[in-house]
Chain A
Amino acid sequence: MHMSDGLVNAPTSLLFGAVALVWLVLAALRARADLDDRTAPMAGLVTAFVFAVQMINFPILPGASGHLLGGALVAILVGPWVGTLCIAIVLVVQALLFADGGLTALGTNITNMALIGVVVGYAVAVALRPLARRGKGGLAATAFVAAFLNTVVAALGFVVEYAIGGSGGASLGTVFGLMVGLHALIGIGEGVITAATVTAVAAVRPDLVHLLRGAKTPLLRRAAGTAP
């Protein structure tokens, strides 16, 4: 879902560059509370994992593919503030090192994936937290729904940016319909990957799953019982 340079005009790029910058500063200030000797290395690895999985475009329709955005994934594993920084770092590495995603488009891309994607993924996950704490199935369902919605709403971010300052080439109605339709399909893949990853981590180290922190959940009790 990486925008190239030129898809929106310069004022729009600047506007969302400013939005992204403010959000990243806020995230950096708030992330500190969630980072300690144990969670900092975990967050670094989650970032590297998102980079890796974003390389895997999966087919959704003939001639069209999608890839993980990771908003719900990082929000559930490391929390919204650290998660924002995870996705932003991935986007910066992709743009600067791999020419994937435009440079002037970094603001819009960070807004769509590191702001909207993470916030929506986290909000849905928190709303469903009672379900997530009930066990493995509940956690998987929570992760799936949060990831599905983070994908669709992040796609709406592009629609808004195109509406504000799109360079043209397609009607807003067409962009809206196609973005939502295609990302509903991609969201299913995002949901499956997110649910699989989160439950795999929770199966071995539920204490490293931010969403389960401090919870009286069977997932944590079971792991504590088997700890040496």
Chain B
Amino acid sequence: MTRGRTLGFLLGFLAVALLVAGGFSYLASPDPDGLDTVALQGCQVTETDAGEQLAGTCIAQNATNHALSSSPLADYTVGGGAGTTGLAGILGVIVTLLLAGGLFWVLRRRGVAPTDDGRG
């Protein structure tokens, strides 16, 4: 019975992660995060055809372009398409789950009863 309960719990957890990445991600603030705000301190950001231009003196002027900035999922979009954040997020959740779940499954101790409180 516990196996069924655990599976149900894990599926519920996955559903929440997919909902957050696929839906709530549209509500995320587009403003720079704490570290980026610090890095931009002292600069004026102006949008130009060539991208963002930084005027003044700030840490972010030393930032180099990401080597994978043209990858298909760069900046949480699918192919740079507008409104694809949710799909990119869902793909990210699945990839992360497969990578992490796979690694942890390989690393786990086999042939050992789960360490729990006698409810296994």
Contacts and interface: CB of A to CB of B under 8 A. Distances in A.
Main secondary structure of the interface of A (DSSP, over half): helix
Contact of A179 (B20, B38, B64): B38
B59 A58 contact: no
A35 B62 CA distance: 41
Contacts of A183: 34
Interface in B1-45: 1-2, 5-6, 9-10, 13-14, 16-18, 20-21, 24-25, 27-35, 37-39, 41-42
A155 B37 contact: no
A178 B109 contact: no
Contacts of B64: 4-6, 102
A214 B38 CA distance: 43
Nearest to A9: B62
B29 A207 contact: no
Contacts of A56: 20, 24-25, 27-28
Nearest to B109: A36
Contacts of B61: 169
B115 A3 contact: no
B34 A182 contact: yes
Interface stretch (A14-22, A64-72, A120-128, A140-148): A64-72
A33 B109 contact: yes
A107 B17 CA distance: 26
A43 to B, nearest CB: 5
A38 B39 CA distance: 42
Contacts of A44: 97, 100-102, 104-105
Interface string A42-60: 1111111101110111111
A163 interface: no
Contacts of B107: 28, 31-32, 35, 40
Nearest to B22: A52
Nearest to B31: A65
Interface string A200-228: 01001101100001100000100010011
Contacts of B96: 47-48, 51, 89-90, 93
